[in-house]
Amino acid sequence: MTKNIRVKEAAEYVGLSKSSLDKFRCFGGGPRFYKLGRSVIYNTSDLDTWVAERARTSTWCANDNTPARNIAA
């Protein structure tokens, strides 16, 4: 059963701080969210999908979830 929850609840749901979700919303890389007026809403099925996409089998592999950055030589 999916549920719509606010930022604080969403942060607890995925095990991150509210501040982390706020930064993901501003800079990208976070779960899908909905903006309804001044409210930010997350759907639990979107949060589950986002967490599942970050599954890893090794810490040795490059983290392909990080947005690519252009680094000047």
- Predicted local distance difference test score (pLDDT) of residue 67: 54
- Predicted local distance difference test score (pLDDT) of residue 37: 96
| Cβ-based neighbours of 14, under 8 Å, separated by 6 or more | 21, 31, 47, 50, 51
- Predicted local distance difference test score (pLDDT) of residue 61: 66
| pLDDT tens digits along 19-73 | 999 999 999 999 999 999 999 999 999 999 999 999 888 887 666 655 555 556 5
**Rounded to whole angstroms, how far apart are CA atoms 43 and 68?**
26
- Predicted local distance difference test score (pLDDT) of residue 57: 84
- Predicted local distance difference test score (pLDDT) of residue 1: 86
- Predicted local distance difference test score (pLDDT) of residue 58: 84
**Rounded to whole angstroms, how far apart are CA atoms 58 and 52?**
15
